Amino acid sequence: MPVLSYLWIIPLLPLMGAAANGIFGGRWQKKVITAVALSSATLAFLLALEAVREFLTLFPNQIPWIRTYFTWISAGGFQADFALQVDQLTVIMLLVVTGVGWLIHIYSTGYMQDDPGYRRFFSYLNLFMFFMLVLILAANYLLMFVGWEGVGLCSYLLIGFFFLKQSATNAGNKAFWVNRIGDFGFLLGVLLIFRTFGSLDFATVLPRAAGMTADPAGQIGTLTAIALLLFVGAAGKSAQLPLYVWLPDAMEGPTPVSALIHAATMVTAGVYMVVRSHAIFLNAPVAMQVVGVIGCVTALFAATIGLVQTDIKKVLAYSTVSQLGYMFLACGVGAFGAGIFHLMTHAFFKGLLFLAAGSVIHAMGGEQDMRKMGGLRKKIPIAFWTMFVATLAIAGAPGFSGFFSKDEILNEAQVISPVLWGLGVLTAGLTSFYMFRLLFLTFFGRQRYDEHKVHVHESPRSMTIPLIVLAVLSVCGGWMAAPQLMGGVNHFEQFLAPALVTGAEPAAAAVESSGGGGEILQALLGAPVIAGLLGFLLAWWFYIKSPEAPKKLADSLSPLYKLFSGKYFIDELYQAAIVRPLVWISDKILWHAVDERAIDGAVNGVAFVSRESGDRLRRANTGNIRSYATWIVLGVVVFTSLLLWMVD
Partner 1 sequence: MVPTSYYLVLSAVLFGLGVIAFIFKRNILTIFMSIELMLNAVNLAFVSFSRLLGQLQGQVFVFFVIVVAAAEAAVGLAIIILIHRNRGTLDVENVDSLKD
Partner 2 sequence: MQQTYLLSVLTFLPVAGTMALLLLRDDDHLWIRRLAMTTAGVEFALSLLLLRGFDAHAAGYQWEEFRTWIPQPPIHYHMGVDGLSLFLILLTTLLTPISILASWKSIDQRVKGFFISLLVLETGVIGVFVSLDLFLFFLFWEVMLIPMYFLIGIWGHGRRIYAALKFVLYTMFGSILMLVAILWLYRITAVAGYPTFDVSQLQALLSNGTIALPVSTEYLLFGAFFLAFAIKVPLFPLHTWLPDAHTEAPTAGSVMLAGVLLKMGIYGMLRFCLPLFPGAARQFAPYIAVLAIIGIIYGALVAMVQVDLKRLVAYSSVSHLGFVVLGIFAFHQISIQGAVYQMLNHGISTGALFLCVGMLYDRRHTHLISEFGGIATPMPVLAALYLFSCFASAGLPMLNGFVGEFLILAGTFQRHADWASWAALGVILSAVYLLWSYQRVFFGSLTQDKNGTLPDLDTRERGILFVMAAIILWMGIGSPFFTRRTEAYTQNVLQLMRRPQAYNAGGLPKHGSGSMYLDHAPVTLPGLDTAAYAGVANSVKLK
Partner 3 sequence: MFPPLQDLYRIAPEIVLCGFGMLVMLLAPVVSKARHDLLAGISLVGAALALVATFYPARYPGLAYSGLFRADSFSLFVHWIVCGAAFLVILGSIGYLQRDDLDAAEFCALILFATAGMGVMAGAHELLTAFIGLEMSSIASYILASYRRDAPRSNEAAMKYFLLGSFATAFFLYGIALSFGATGSTHLDLMTPLANDSAHTLLKIGLGFIFIGLAFKVAAAPFQLWTPDVYEGAPAPVTALLSTGPKAAAFALALRIMASIDAAAPLWFWALWVAAALSMFAGNLSAIVQTSVKRMLAYSSIAHAGYILVALTAAAATDHPEEGIAAALFYLVGYALVKMGAFLIVAHLGGPGERLVDIEDFTGLARRQPAMAACLSLFLLSLLGLPITAGFLGKFYVFNAALESNLIWLAILLALNSVIGAYYYLRVIVAMYMREPAAEIVAEPVPWTLSAVLWIAAAGTVFAGLFPARIIDFAAKAALNIR
The contact set with partner 3 (CB under 8 A) reads 607, 610-611, 613-615, 617-618, 620-621, 623, 625, 627-629, 631-632, 634-636, 638-640, 642-644, 646-647
Which parts of 564-623 interact with partner 1 (CB under 8 A)? 618-619, 621-623
Q: Give min distance, CB of 28 to partner 2, in A.
A: 16
Name which position in 164, 521, 607, 625 contacts partner 1 (CB under 8 A).
Answer: 625
For partner 2, the closer of residues 176 and 341 by Cβ is 176
Which residues are within 8 A (CB) of 286 and not within 5 positions of it... i.e. 6 or more apart? 215, 217, 218, 219, 220, 224, 228
For partner 2, the closer of residues 106 and 193 by Cβ is 193
Q: Give min distance, CB of 623 to partner 1, in A.
A: 3
Which range binds partner 2 by CB under 8 A, 156-164, 316-324, 336-344, 465-473?
156-164
Q: Is 626 in the site for partner 1 (CB under 8 A)?
A: yes
Q: Is 169 in the site for partner 2 (CB under 8 A)?
A: yes
Q: Is 583 in the site for partner 2 (CB under 8 A)?
A: yes
Question: 84 forms bridges with which residues in the sheet?
Answer: 67, 138
Q: Is 633 in the site for partner 1 (CB under 8 A)?
A: yes
Name which position in 132, 187, 232, 352 contacts partner 2 (CB under 8 A).
Answer: 187
CA 178 – CA 159 distance, rounded (Å): 14
The identity of residue 201, as a single letter, is D
Query: Residue 577 gets which letter from DSSP?
Result: I
590 binds, among partner 1, partner 3, partner 2, none (CB under 5 to 8 A by kind): partner 2
Q: CA neighbours within 13 Å on the CB side: how many for 73?
A: 11
Q: Give min distance, CB of 599 to partner 2, in A.
A: 5
520 binds, among partner 2, partner 1, partner 3, none (CB under 5 to 8 A by kind): none
Q: Is 593 in the site for partner 2 (CB under 8 A)?
A: no
Contact (Cβ atoms closer than 8 angstroms) between residue 355 and residue 104: yes
CA 392 – CA 401 distance, rounded (Å): 9
6 binds, among partner 2, partner 3, partner 1, none (CB under 5 to 8 A by kind): none
Q: Give min distance, CB of 591 to partner 2, in A.
A: 5
Question: 68 forms bridges with which residues in the sheet?
Answer: 83
Backbone dihedral angles phi then psi of residue 81, each to the nearest 5 degrees: -100, 160
Q: Give min distance, CB of 496 to partner 2, in A.
A: 28
569 binds, among partner 3, partner 1, partner 2, none (CB under 5 to 8 A by kind): none
For partner 3, the closer of residues 68 and 640 by Cβ is 640
Other CB atoms within 10 Å distance of the CB of residue 372:
15
With helix as H, strand as E and coil as C, how does 173-242 read?
Answer: HHHHHHHHHHHHHHHHHHHHHHHHHCCCEHHHHHHHHHHCCCCCCCCCCHHHHHHHHHHHHHHHHCCCCC
Which parts of 312-331 interact with partner 2 (CB under 8 A)? none
Q: Which of 427, 441, 353, 339 is closest to 392 using CA atoms?
A: 353
CA 308 – CA 539 distance, rounded (Å): 12
Give the total of residues touching partner 2 (CB under 8 A): 47
CA 351 – CA 491 distance, rounded (Å): 24
614 binds, among partner 2, partner 3, partner 1, none (CB under 5 to 8 A by kind): partner 3
Q: Give min distance, CB of 391 to partner 2, in A.
A: 36
Name which position in 594, 629, 642, 643 contacts partner 1 (CB under 8 A).
Answer: 629
Contact (Cβ atoms closer than 8 angstroms) between residue 151 and residue 128: yes
For partner 2, the closer of residues 172 and 506 by Cβ is 172
**491-500 and 336-363 helices, crossing angle to 10°:** 120
160 binds, among partner 3, partner 2, partner 1, none (CB under 5 to 8 A by kind): partner 2
For partner 3, the closer of residues 595 and 612 by Cβ is 612
Which parts of 87-126 interact with partner 2 (CB under 8 A)? none
Other CB atoms within 10 Å distance of the CB of residue 83:
22
Q: Is 608 in the site for partner 2 (CB under 8 A)?
A: no
What is 147-173 written as a DSSP string?
HHHHHHHHHHHHHTTSTTSHHHHHHHH
CA 505 – CA 496 distance, rounded (Å): 16
CA 505 – CA 600 distance, rounded (Å): 63
For partner 1, the closer of residues 573 and 636 by Cβ is 636
Name which position in 142, 205, 387, 470 contacts partner 2 (CB under 8 A).
Answer: 142
CA 549 – CA 555 distance, rounded (Å): 10
Q: Give min distance, CB of 586 to partner 1, in A.
A: 46
Which range binds partner 2 by CB under 8 A, 72-80, 205-213, 260-268, 560-568?
72-80
For partner 3, the closer of residues 27 and 618 by Cβ is 618
CA 620 – CA 499 distance, rounded (Å): 89
CA 312 – CA 325 distance, rounded (Å): 20
CA 341 – CA 409 distance, rounded (Å): 9
The identity of residue 191, as a single letter, is L
The identity of residue 551, as a single letter, is K
Helices and strands, number each (H, E), in the chain:
31, 2
| Positions that interact with partner 2 (CB under 8 A) | 71-78, 142, 145-146, 149-150, 153, 156, 160, 163-164, 166, 169-170, 172-173, 176-177, 180-181, 183-184, 187-188, 191-192, 194-195, 582-583, 585-587, 590-591, 594-595, 599-600, 603
| Positions that interact with partner 1 (CB under 8 A) | 618-619, 621-626, 629-630, 633
